[in-house]
Homo-oligomer: A and B are copies of this chain.
Amino acid sequence: MASEQNHLYMNPGQDKTSYARNSTLQKTEQDRMKPLIEDAITALCRVAAPQSMAIMDLGCSSGPNALTLTSATVDAIHRHCMKYAQTAPEICLFLNDLPYNDFNTVAKSLAEFKHCHDRSSHHVIVAGMIPGSFYERLVTSGSVHFVCSSYSLHWLSKAPEELAKRKIPMYDSDEHSRLLNSEIVANAYARQFRKDFTLFLSLRAEELVLGGRLVFSLLGRCSSNPASVCTQAWKLVAIALNDMALRVSLAYIE
């Protein structure tokens, strides 16, 4: 795993710049995924729920959203089993993010979740945290029944090497160079995404049980023309990110 990737993480803690207090957009997207999760669980447990089920959320981060998807999955399983009078399976939750994620906070959230669950139900729920990149193997072959991920797959494994080699920044502050290179940049990132996403799918295919399900959400746009949607806000983000990236590169060189 590239060491730079290892060190990425959302702002920890609870203060006003923390991810925990700046993730309403992500929460909205997670809520939109709930019907898809419900459908996937119905399909998985159609005949009978397996004796035990492993559920994995990729890119859980920390804070109030960390358990939203896995908790929704647990609810969907229990609702399904109750509706069809099936025996509820033992459930194992895996929460994944990069190694520098705030796992101490996730551990406390899990303890709280299990404590609340144990008081209201006798079903076995166990939980673990898996530090690592989802562009690597995270669990053993055929050991997970359901994988979900919300707003995480836009994080690539690395910036396209071809741009680094040609010293073309993701966002050039010089407008002339930016327009000149815009197609090269867009294509390089598209290729990197295709490569990463193909790897992601092949890794999950190894990890999922036969008939397992994968549900994820991802930002995207229908047209290949960046100007086809409002990009003004993203320009500001791009300028800031590019500036930060340049400072880090300079710090490495110094």
Given known contacts A90-B141, A103-B104, A124-B137, A111 and B6 CB-to-CB distance under 8 angstroms: yes
Chain A residues with CB under 8 Å of chain B are 1, 6, 51-52, 54, 90-92, 94, 99-104, 106-108, 110-111, 114-115, 118, 124, 126-132, 137-141, 143
Are B111's CB and A141's CB within 8 A?
A: no
Are A102's CB and B99's CB within 8 A?
A: no
In Å, the complex CA distance between A111 and B130 comes to 10
Per assembly, the copies of the chain total 2
Instruction: Identify the 7 closest CB pairs spanning chains A and B, nearest first.
Output: A107-B131, A99-B111, A52-B140, A128-B128, A103-B103, A90-B140, A128-B130
In Å, the complex CA distance between A100 and B118 comes to 19
Query: What would be 18 A-B contacts, judged by CB atoms less than 8 Å apart?
Result: A6-B111, A51-B141, A52-B140, A52-B141, A54-B140, A90-B141, A91-B140, A99-B108, A100-B107, A103-B103, A104-B104, A124-B137, A124-B141, A126-B132, A127-B132, A128-B128, A128-B129, A129-B129
